[in-house]
Every structure is written in structure tokens, then in C-alpha cells.
Amino acid sequence: MDLSRRRFLQTAVLTAAAAGVTTACGGGSGKSGSKDSKDLKFWYWAGGLSDKVVADSKKHFSDVKLKTSVIGGDFKTKLLTGMKTAQTAPDITGIKGEDIASFLPNANRFLDLNSLGMDKLAPEYLSWKLKQATTQDGKVIGFPIDIGPCAVYYREDIFDQAGLPTDPAKVSAQLSTWDAYFDAGVELHKKVPKSFLINNIGAVFSMAVGQGTQRFIDEDNKFIGDQDHIRTAWTTAVKPYTLDIDAKINDNTWNAAISKGTVATGLGAAWYALDIQNAAPGTKGKWRVASLPSGPSNLGGSFLCLPATCANPELAFEVVKWILSPENQARGFADAALFPTSPAAYKLPELTGGDAFFGGQKTIDIFGPAAEKIPAAYEAPADAAVSAPYYSELTAIEAKGKDPEAAWKDAVSQAKQIAQRQGVK
């Protein structure tokens, strides 16, 4: 009994040790070779790329073993964890548009795509989008997957009931400024009382900030969130609240609001079309798209990046280049509503065709020109963190009727504190 137990223990310990050694070796040998591995780990999230294009890339690069993983949950956190060691890090990874700025201070953890040939491809892609993935010393860490040119999505039938123009060109012409847009909203709410113009004022703020060339922190790492351009955006955002054309929806009832016509317009990027279609399939044919009041803005749009530990940089770049070629980007738009970052794609049939959900409207007429005119603004690594209090205070106005002036003061003082915490001057 005693002996057998001892033997059992010895076996158990030996097995455990052996297992440990094998994993250690197995992990080590994977990346110990030179940078010409044919095995590439490829991470993205559901909807981040067209699954059809990714599947075709495996056929196109038949000599490469492309191991794709669709990562669920909080992608950025999982990427940060994965990049701790070379064994667990992907060779190609997606990075979301709202996260790219926070990765720029650690650009040395990624390959400079210019050294792999991005500099020659650059003219084919939108320069303002490339700038978001470019460090101040000129390194490019991300290949742009898609962009989010913004527009006004509106219910043609409700506009008709309210006696407003219904044709996209006329709507774009009449709602050319924020004030004209809000005036139309007042008119609409008067004629169709159950419908509001917008779902919440945070959406207006984010659009208005995106229309400028400066955000919350400037290139010298100085806090500018208390200056005129932000103040103007704030004043614009508060207007629909004071005019009572704000539906004040800050929870997950947006789906129901969209399908029941509680909100007659939506401010959103190109991919917003997919959200509306999923939330309200019954409203097919009733929606149209018009230009954003007071100029184009961008919301979101992701990148593909190569971590510095990439097993085969040249090959990985070839894969990325192929997946994001203008032709494949056009397929990505048709398949997953990813709006192309290469203007060449805007002339391809996938984009120039009419969209049945929008009553056959050729939405590229609105999004195409907007995409090329989006202002290039510097987005600091701490930008998202510093902008948070503005959005929270805007919801405080909606939720408890907080005085907009007091809310502005609180937002600025909190943003200043976060800026200081994040090392902004």
C-alpha cells in the first residue's frame, strides 16, 4: 500500500514535470526559427473583416498555414494579454479604430509597415485614415480596413408626414447646417409628436467633434478640451435637448425605438446601416441617407497590424495587402458593410449599386464624397479617456435635467484631471 502509493506519487510528479517540459519546449520551438515561418496566427473579431474574403485568402495563399481566430469579448484586452509573450502573440491582428491611438506610444511593439512597402501603397488609401495609425516620427503601424464616414439616416415616410423634403439630394441641401437640421426636427416633432429627431445628444457631440481638425489634446500633448472648438460642439449638442427633439435613449431600447419610428433620424457611420437593418428589418425601404449637416465626420474604422514578434513579416504583409486590396474591400462592403479605405473601390459595382433597404438609393453618392473630405485630426493616445466625462455629463443633462452650463464646467474639470493622470500637460 505504502509502496504503491509512493510509486503513484512518483509517476504523478514525473508526468506533471514531463508535461511542463514539453509545453515549455513546444512553446519555445514554435518561434525559435528565423522569420520565414509559414504558420501565421491571425486575430480579428466577428464582423471586423469579411469572412468570405478571409476564407478566400486561405485558398489564395495555399502554401501559408493561416490560422484565423475570431476573438470574442473585449478584443483590446485580449490582444494586450496575448502580446505579453511571443508564443501567444498573433502574427497579424486587427485593432479597432477607437483603440489605435492608445497603441501608438508603443509603436515599437509593432512592425513599421512602411519598411514592408506601405509607403508605395499609401497614395491608394485615404491619407487622413493612414494618419490615425502613423506615429509622430512617421512610422505606420496599421493598414486601414475600413472607415466610418457619417451621414444622416432618415425615415422618408415620417419626413413625408411632416411635410419635409424626402429626396436625399433635397434633404442634404436643406439640412446643410446643424441649425437647419434642428429646425427640421422641431417641425417634424410638431407634426408627428411620437417621433423625435435624434436618439441622444451624445451622438451629436461625437459628430460635431469629428468635424473639426482638433480634438481634446493637441500634437504637443496639451489639453485643449476647454477651448472654443469643443465648446462649440457642446453647444450644438445641447440644442436638441433644449428644443425637446431629443428622445434621450441611452439604454438598449434603441432597437425598439428604431423599429417603431420613435426616432426619425439617426446620426451614424456607414456601418450604422447594418445596425438599423438588424434592429428594424420591418422598416425596409423606408430609410434614406443624406449628408451630415455642417460637413463630414468619421466614426470608427479599424486596422490590421503586424506585432513585432510576427513570424514572417513579408508574407504577413502580403496577406494583409491582398485582403485589403480595393477589389476585396469592395467585397467586404457588400458582405460585411465595411466601408473601403481605398477610393478606387468606390467605383466598383459592389458600391455603386442601389441598396434595397434604402429604397434603391445609391448611398455611395453620399458616403463617397464624404469619405474623401473628412478632416485629418490628431487623435492623442489619451483622447478616448479624456473625452469620457463630456459624454457622461451630456447623459446627466438628459437623465436628471442637469444645468448644461454646470455640466460643461464639471466635464472640463474632470477631463483636466484625467488628462493630468494620463500624463497630458
Partner 1 sequence: MSSSPVAGPVPTGPSSGSANGPSGQPAPDRHRGPGRSGRRVRPVPAHRPPAGSRRGPRRWIARYGTQYLAISPYYLIFSVFMLFPMLYTVYLAFQKWDGIGEMKFVGLDQFRFLWDDPVFWLSLRNTLVIWVLSTVPMLFMALVMAVLINSTRRLTAFYRVALFIPSITSLVAIAIFFGAIFSNNFGLINAVLKAMHLSAVPWLSNEWTIKLVIATLMTWQWTGYNAIIYLAGLQAIPSELYEAARMDGAGPTRMFFSITIPLLRPIILFTVVISTVTGLQSFTEPQVLFGSDASTNPNSGGPGRAGLTTLLYFYNQAFDYNDFGYAAAIVWAFFLLILLIVVINWRLVQGKERRP
The window from 59-67, 152-160, 251-259, 362-370 that contacts partner 1 (CB under 8 A) reads: 251-259
Whole-angstrom Cα distance, residue 136 to residue 383?
A: 15
| Nearest by Cα to 104 from 141, 61, 51, 152 | 141
Rounded alpha-carbon distances, angstroms, from residue 300 to 145, 150, 268, 271, 394? 11, 10, 10, 9, 21
Nearer to partner 1, 257 or 345 (CB): 257
CB 71 to partner 1: min, Å: 14
The window from 112-120, 171-179, 343-351, 391-399 that contacts partner 1 (CB under 8 A) reads: 391-399
Q: In a 3-state reduction of DSSP, which class is residue 109?
A: helix
CB 203 to partner 1: min, Å: 9
DSSP 182-214: HHHHHHHHHHSTT-BSBS-HHHHHHHHHHTSS-
| Structural contact between residues 350 and 330, judged by C-beta atoms closer than 8 angstroms | yes
Judged by CB under 8 A, which of 42, 43, 103, 154 binds partner 1?
Answer: 103
At residue 234's C-alpha, the angle toward residues 229 and 170, to 5°, is 90
Nearer to partner 1, 105 or 117 (CB): 105
CB 337 to partner 1: min, Å: 15
281 binds partner 1 (CB under 8 A): no
CB 359 to partner 1: min, Å: 26
| Nearest by Cα to 288 from 387, 424, 151 | 151
Per-residue x/- mask for partner 1, residues 58 to 77, rule CB under 8 A? ----------------x-xx
Judged by CB under 8 A, which of 69, 87, 106, 161 binds partner 1?
Answer: 106
Whole-angstrom Cα distance, residue 296 to residue 301?
A: 15
Give me 233's grid cell. 460642439
Residues that bind partner 1 (CB under 8 A): 2, 5-6, 9, 12, 74, 76-77, 80, 83, 96-98, 102-103, 105-106, 109, 202, 206, 247-253, 256-257, 260, 262, 299-300, 381-382, 384-385, 387-389, 391-392, 395-396, 398-400, 402, 410, 414, 417, 420-423
